């Protein structure tokens, strides 16, 4: 797969977005009562799938302007910094646990009483300086690796709770999400025009980094940890559009997804699953689960109509420049001049050709946290909240 970009700035923006964003002021259900399983706080590490405002807080002026303005946030009523028209999976999970939405760590004057979101859009699992031949490969100014986020996490807990004993007590009543992250490690490598077979060599290091972070969190006293896998990236409109010219009919599966890219993501997930199983064996006193973003998304894709989506639009971006069958052009991405959002984002799976719509994230959250794709199921939910 040749993913070289002829425009560094456009490629950089796309790479940031491809990771696989914050309602900084609005909360979900009240958190006066202990949530399911006694969870009273959520701490999240990750990338744009989970970022609720950190990237836009630290990005320099002029960068990532599109996610600061409508149509981003159109379903919510105003832009929130999230890479979507509205809420993310982390938001629906918080609501279902009876907790407020997570404020970003870099937000000013925000409450962190019931958790903190350390995720940053564009973040890598492996620290960029350790993985890429810099400065030959452009990485985002604002990208914060998992190592940086983990340091934020530790600094926050130390500053807020002081002693290791108090930190352990806090974590025993918390849920920690380590990911989704790792997608950008591969995206940046692809933007060096590396073939899939070569990018696969990064998988062991990426998985080791993710699981190493989860281990550190468990060693600090966490008793509930979720480690999500990667999406079937061969179904993402952005990837489909960029590979359309060089692909043959045999390169696609029955759902119209690129086989090679889905196989790549499956290899990452298979290795991550095995590593999570080792964590479960090493920490029998903790509840450690793998969140299957891959199969849950395919279930959503293959049954789009029954979930209320337009089956004819499952591989098309809601917001774009009207380009081609995928409505995606990396030179004119959502929010750029000449682009527009569809009339009803709730009928689309993809918001901007890279990230999902609020409706799709809601459906994914139900499938994972209330269904069979959290393995094992380590959560229970207050009856008064039910499913969002």
pLDDT tens column, 246-265: 899 999 999 999 999 999 99
The number of C-alpha atoms within 13 Å of 125 and in the hemisphere containing its C-beta is 31
Q: Which residues is 117 bridged to in the sheet? A: 44, 104
Distance (Å, whole) CA 47 – CA 51: 6
Q: Structurally, what CATH architecture does the domain formed by 8-375 represent?
A: 3-Layer(aba) Sandwich (3.40)
For 280-341, the three-class secondary structure string (H helix, E strand, C coil) is HHHCCCCEEEEECHHHHHHHHHHCCHHHCCCHHHCCCECEECCCCCCCCCCCCCCCCCCCEE
DSSP state of 102: P
Q: According to the model, what pLDDT value does residue 388 have?
A: 59
Among residues 78, 45, 53, 229, which one has the least CA distance to residue 150?
45
8 Å CB contact between 288 and 214: yes
pTM score of the predicted model: 0.89
Distance (Å, whole) CA 235 – CA 250: 15
Helices marked H in 59-145 — which ranges?
A: 89-96, 128-131
Q: According to the model, what pLDDT value does residue 213 have?
A: 98
pLDDT per residue of the chain (388 residues) written in tens, 0 to 9: 433 333 333 343 444 344 333 323 333 333 333 445 799 999 999 999 999 999 988 777 776 789 999 999 999 999 988 999 999 999 999 999 999 999 999 998 889 999 999 999 989 999 877 765 544 444 554 468 999 999 999 999 999 999 999 999 999 999 999 999 999 999 888 777 789 999 999 999 999 999 999 999 999 999 999 999 999 999 999 999 988 988 999 999 999 999 999 999 999 999 999 999 999 999 999 999 999 999 999 999 999 999 999 999 999 999 999 879 999 998 899 999 999 999 999 999 999 999 999 999 999 999 999 999 999 999 999 865 556 5
Write down the residue that tokens 């179904």 correspond to.
235
Q: According to the model, what pLDDT value does residue 139 have?
A: 53
Tell me the catalytic residues. 48, 352, 355
Distance (Å, whole) CA 20 – CA 283: 29
Q: Is the dihedral of CA 156, 160, 162, 163 positive or negative?
A: negative
Q: According to the model, what pLDDT value does residue 270 have?
A: 98
Q: According to the model, what pLDDT value does residue 382 have?
A: 82
Domain ranges of the chain: 8-375
DSSP state of 245: G
Distance (Å, whole) CA 66 – CA 302: 31
Q: Which residues is 115 bridged to in the sheet? A: 42
């Amino acid at each position: 797969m040749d993913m070289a970009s002829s425009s560094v700035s456009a490629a950089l923006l796309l790479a940031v977005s491809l990771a696989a964003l914050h309602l900084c002021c609005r909360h979900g259900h009240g958190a006066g009562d202990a949530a399911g399983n006694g969870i009273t706080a959520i701490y999240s590490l990750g990338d744009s799938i989970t970022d609720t405002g950190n990237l836009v807080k630290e990005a320099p002026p002029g960068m990532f302007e599109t996610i600061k303005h409508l149509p981003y946030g159109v379903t919510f009523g105003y832009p929130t910094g999230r890479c979507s028209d509205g809420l993310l999976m982390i938001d629906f999970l918080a609501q279902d646990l009876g907790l407020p939405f997570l404020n970003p760590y870099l937000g000013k004057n925000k409450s962190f009483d019931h958790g903190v979101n350390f995720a940053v859009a564009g973040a890598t699992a492996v620290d960029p300086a350790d993985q890429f031949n810099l400065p030959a490969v452009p990485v985002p100014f604002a990208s914060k690796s998992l190592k940086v986020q983990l340091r934020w996490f530790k600094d926050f807990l130390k500053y807020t709770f002081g002693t290791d004993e108090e930190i352990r007590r806090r974590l025993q009543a918390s849920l920690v999400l380590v990911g989704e992250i790792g997608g950008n490690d591969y995206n940046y490598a692809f933007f060096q025009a590396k073939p899939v077979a070569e990018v696969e060599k990064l998988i062991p290091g990426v998985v080791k980094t993710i699981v190493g972070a989860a281990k550190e969190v468990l060693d600090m006293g966490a008793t509930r940890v979720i480690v999500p896998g990667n999406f079937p990236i061969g179904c993402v409109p952005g990837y489909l559009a960029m590979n359309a010219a060089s692909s043959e009919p045999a390169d696609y599966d029955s759902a119209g997804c690129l086989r090679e890219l889905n196989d790549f993501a499956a290899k990452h997930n298979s290795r991550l699953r095995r590593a999570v199983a080792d964590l479960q064996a090493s920490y029998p006193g903790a509840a450690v689960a793998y969140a299957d973003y891959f199969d849950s998304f395919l279930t959503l894709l293959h049954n789009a109509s029954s979930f209320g989506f337009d089956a004819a639009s499952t591989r098309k971006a809601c917001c774009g420049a009207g380009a081609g069958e995928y409505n995606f052009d990396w030179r004119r991405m959502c929010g750029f001049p000449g682009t527009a959002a569809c009339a009803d984002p709730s009928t689309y799976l993809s918001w901007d050709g890279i990230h999902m719509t609020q409706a799709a994230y809601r459906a994914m959250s139900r499938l994972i946290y209330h269904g069979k794709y959290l393995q094992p199921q380590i959560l229970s939910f207050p009856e008064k909240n039910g499913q969002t």
